[in-house]
Chain A
């Protein structure tokens, strides 16, 4: 069973990951109904607290909460008092005074969600912290892989790009290893450092070194804002050794899945023909995102001991 929070996949067990994925598969059906809403979390308040810009993750969580009938409230660092120097803990204390049930936080610092989870009684869901984890993204990635490949045990997933600074990659590595998949990395030496092998993955260099054996290739977005100066050469050189285009895709296993957490830098890590090609499941990832986030909210919030008076069992 999941605990109070979802901070990452590093400490989750196989049973918990499987439970989330199985539940998410059910929630996909809700989004296909005419009335895409169930009353499950009626009266619960979910706050999205985003200290980094992100349209899609925030929309996805927002929609997930709304489809479960929770009330949602958005808090953006750009429009709030954090610009005036308020600390994260003070912001959280203010939100706490409004009696939320869950906070979905994205923050540029690794460990920021853990700090809130330690200090407050409400549920904390990590929507991306620094270079640490982005568990809901990894879960939707794994759900998408499972849809196409079934059991992921024994499968090989290649992750290509700036793995060192990618919370998406790290959450995927933790989750995929637990489900028994093998993970192999490729990328520039500054972004795909040998110490990553301590996470139980194999570290290679060029994309050609990993494409042949992969059932899935996950292309990461180059995020210059997370790189220290001097950690990357030109985009042209990057694309030459680590980018995925049609010619390279032809050398891969037939049926290989091409994934990307979005937004794509077209022409850098992924050529447009590949991004929109038949091997690409990028749009399925987005659809699954809502289902996974509904499952997380349901599993984390749906069973809390709550109000007196709601003590009748259904028979």
Chain B
């Protein structure tokens, strides 16, 4: 039994935004009110802090099974909880790839009873993530996978994607797609533009993402599949998305939290440090600002962690040889809060309400709902600290001035301190 006292309760779904006490009992929210009696509950003084519905992450690579030196279910679950997430979707990009009903069943069963956030599985869209053959989507969803997608890999072949979306639609699961164009992305290692020209690094044209988004929009229109675009990071991409939504297309999208605060000059500032190598790459300032605006306007409804842990083995290499990606579970809230200028209802919507809706769920602070809560300190300011719970430390935000931090996460009524 838990009594969260005097926190600012921010629940965009119900419109509540005021200081209240919240009682948690048997994994559920039991009572919300003013001056609730403590009884024998454990009291957490939340005065000065805020209580948000706990976050839901649609995009995270937890590396388990296969490359557990980078991350494992336990460390990934703890890292997610340290970042305010109660639910994290694990990418199918594991070894073996989650691309059959049997593999999915085994992994769903193995993902219970974790010490932090609950981990749920995404089943692959194409066998081996190779973009050539359809997976057993139906069996994977039946086994407990909550979405279908190829993780960070992009399906560039239009005919293949058309088939995959057509096949996925009747099963009902949402399809997570990273928009991109493989051949163009293979050509470079950072955003092609002023900074890449200055640094002499081969560039990936923004066209790669734009083509990917345009293709997905056309195919969603054709197949009526339920699609969520992960990683929308360009101004033109956000504009394409806005136009598609205006035209009545049902399509949701997310952006990695770090892309809201970092731009491609991080590559030059770091002196070619591979920690800044990402896919999609960091974008110029004008794209960053456009994407922030798109999150504010709701065109991009969700923010994800895009957690991609790599250790020294994969990162202590020449920039163009290092694996792209960065961790992000433990910093997603601070980055989002900073980028959205401290607007807590908007942060709650982007990190909790909208991603939950993508999965057909709610994220609310309402009596009777599962007690998934994030306790945050909106007054905190300081340089971003290195990750603590993740097994990897490839975090380009370290040292960056950020606002706000997560103090604790409640997962099904269980309180997990973050600091």
A contacts B directly (C-beta below 8 A): yes
A residues with a Cβ closer than 8 A to B are 10, 87-89, 107, 109-112, 114-115, 117-118, 129-133, 167, 170, 195-196, 198-199, 228
Cβ 8 A contact of A88, one of B200, B201, B273, B318: B318
B272-A111 in contact (CB<8A): yes
Residue in chain B with minimal CB distance to A51: B318
Given A110-B201, A131-B200, A132-B200, A87 contacting B194 (CB threshold 8 A): no
Q: Whole-angstrom distance between the alpha carbons of A107 and B317 in the complex? A: 12
**Is B182's CB within 8 Å of the partner chain A?**
no
**Is B319's CB within 8 Å of the partner chain A?**
yes
Q: Whole-angstrom distance between the alpha carbons of A114 and B271 in the complex? A: 7
**How many of chain B's residues touch chain A, expressed as a range?**
10 to 19
CB contact list, B182-207 vs A, under 8 A: 187, 192-194, 197-202
Cβ 8 A contact of B197, one of A112, A115, A129, A196: A196
B189-231 interface mask toward A, CB cutoff 8 Å, 1 = contact, 0 = none?
0001110011111100000000000000000000000000000
Given A111-B272, A118-B271, A131 contacting B202 (CB threshold 8 A): yes
Q: How far is the CB of A50 from chain B (nearest CB, A)?
A: 15
Chain B contacts of A88 at CB under 8 A? 317-318
**Is B18's CB within 8 Å of the partner chain A?**
no
Residue in chain B with minimal CB distance to A226: B202
Q: Whole-angstrom distance between the alpha carbons of A20 and B33 in the complex? A: 74
**Is B243's CB within 8 Å of the partner chain A?**
no
**Is B343's CB within 8 Å of the partner chain A?**
no
Residue in chain B with minimal CB distance to A170: B200
B199-A111 in contact (CB<8A): yes
A112-B318 in contact (CB<8A): yes
Q: Whole-angstrom distance between the alpha carbons of A89 and B313 in the complex? A: 11
Cβ 8 A contact of A111, one of B187, B194, B197, B318: B318
Cβ 8 A contact of B198, one of A87, A117, A198: A198
A89-B197 in contact (CB<8A): no
A132-B199 in contact (CB<8A): yes
Q: How far is the CB of B32 from chain A (nearest CB, A)?
A: 52
Residue in chain A with minimal CB distance to B187: A228
Chain A contacts of B26 at CB under 8 A? none
Cβ 8 A contact of A110, one of B192, B200, B273, B317: B200
Can you identify 9 A-B contacts, CB atoms within 8 angstroms?
A87-B317, A107-B318, A109-B321, A110-B200, A110-B201, A110-B320, A115-B318, A131-B201, A131-B202
Interface residues of B, dominant DSSP: loop
**Is B45's CB within 8 Å of the partner chain A?**
no
Known: A115-B318, A115-B319, A130-B320. 8 other contacts (CB 8 A): A10-B198, A110-B199, A110-B202, A112-B318, A114-B271, A130-B202, A195-B192, A228-B187
Q: Whole-angstrom distance between the alpha carbons of A195 and B197 in the complex? A: 7
Q: Whole-angstrom distance between the alpha carbons of A245 and B139 in the complex? A: 68
Chain A contacts of B193 at CB under 8 A? 195
Chain A contacts of B317 at CB under 8 A? 87-89
**Is B316's CB within 8 Å of the partner chain A?**
yes
B residues with a Cβ closer than 8 A to A are 187, 192-194, 197-202, 271-273, 316-321
Q: Whole-angstrom distance between the alpha carbons of A115 and B274 in the complex? A: 9
Q: Which 10 residue pairs of A and B lie closest in terms of their CB atoms, listed nearest first?
A: A132-B200, A111-B272, A109-B318, A111-B319, A114-B272, A110-B200, A112-B318, A198-B194, A114-B271, A110-B201
Residue in chain A with minimal CB distance to B193: A195
Chain B contacts of A131 at CB under 8 A? 200-202
Given A109-B321, A228-B187, A133 contacting B316 (CB threshold 8 A): no
Q: Whole-angstrom distance between the alpha carbons of A117 and B272 in the complex? A: 11
Q: Whole-angstrom distance between the alpha carbons of A88 and B201 in the complex? A: 18
Q: Whole-angstrom distance between the alpha carbons of A295 and B47 in the complex? A: 66
Q: Whole-angstrom distance between the alpha carbons of A110 and B201 in the complex? A: 6
Chain B contacts of A110 at CB under 8 A? 199-202, 272, 319-320
Q: Whole-angstrom distance between the alpha carbons of A7 and B192 in the complex? A: 22
Residue in chain B with minimal CB distance to A117: B271
Question: Which of B187, B202, B321 is the most central at the interface, judged by chain A CB atoms within 10 Å of its CB?
Answer: B202
Given A109-B321, A114-B271, A130 contacting B198 (CB threshold 8 A): no
Residue in chain B with minimal CB distance to A165: B202
A199-B200 in contact (CB<8A): no
Chain A contacts of B187 at CB under 8 A? 228
Residue in chain B with minimal CB distance to A113: B272
B200-A130 in contact (CB<8A): yes
Q: Whole-angstrom distance between the alpha carbons of A114 and B197 in the complex? A: 17
Given A87-B317, A89-B316, A109-B318, A199 contacting B272 (CB threshold 8 A): no
Q: Whole-angstrom distance between the alpha carbons of A133 and B200 in the complex? A: 7
Q: How far is the CB of B196 from chain A (nearest CB, A)?
A: 8
Q: How far is the CB of A195 from chain B (nearest CB, A)?
A: 5
Chain B contacts of A195 at CB under 8 A? 192-194, 197
Residue in chain B with minimal CB distance to A174: B198
Residue in chain B with minimal CB distance to A130: B200
Chain B contacts of A199 at CB under 8 A? 197-198
Chain A contacts of B194 at CB under 8 A? 195, 198
Q: Whole-angstrom distance between the alpha carbons of A273 and B320 in the complex? A: 40
Q: How far is the CB of B17 from chain A (nearest CB, A)?
A: 46
Chain A contacts of B273 at CB under 8 A? 115, 118
Q: Whole-angstrom distance between the alpha carbons of A87 and B272 in the complex? A: 17
Q: Whole-angstrom distance between the alpha carbons of A132 and B197 in the complex? A: 9
Chain A contacts of B272 at CB under 8 A? 110-112, 114-115
